[in-house]
Amino acid sequence: MIAKTKPAITKTQSDASKSSAAKDQPIKTANTGEFAFGKENYRLMLIGLAFILVGFLLMIGGGSDDPAKFSPEIFNFQRLTLAPILILAGYIIEIFAIMKRPKD
> Considering its fold, how many domains does the chain have in total?
1
Q: What is the mean pLDDT of residues 81-90?
A: 97
**Domain assignment present for 99:** yes
3-state DSSP assignment of residue 72 = helix
Closest CA to 87 of 62, 61, 53: 53
> CB within 8 A of 62, min separation 6: which ones?
71, 73, 74, 76, 79
Domain of residue 104, residue span = 52-104
**Domain assignment present for 91:** yes
pTM above 0.75, yes or no: no
**Domain assignment present for 43:** no
**What's the pLDDT score for residue 67?**
84
**Domain assignment present for 47:** no
13 pLDDT above the threshold of 90:
no
**Domain assignment present for 13:** no
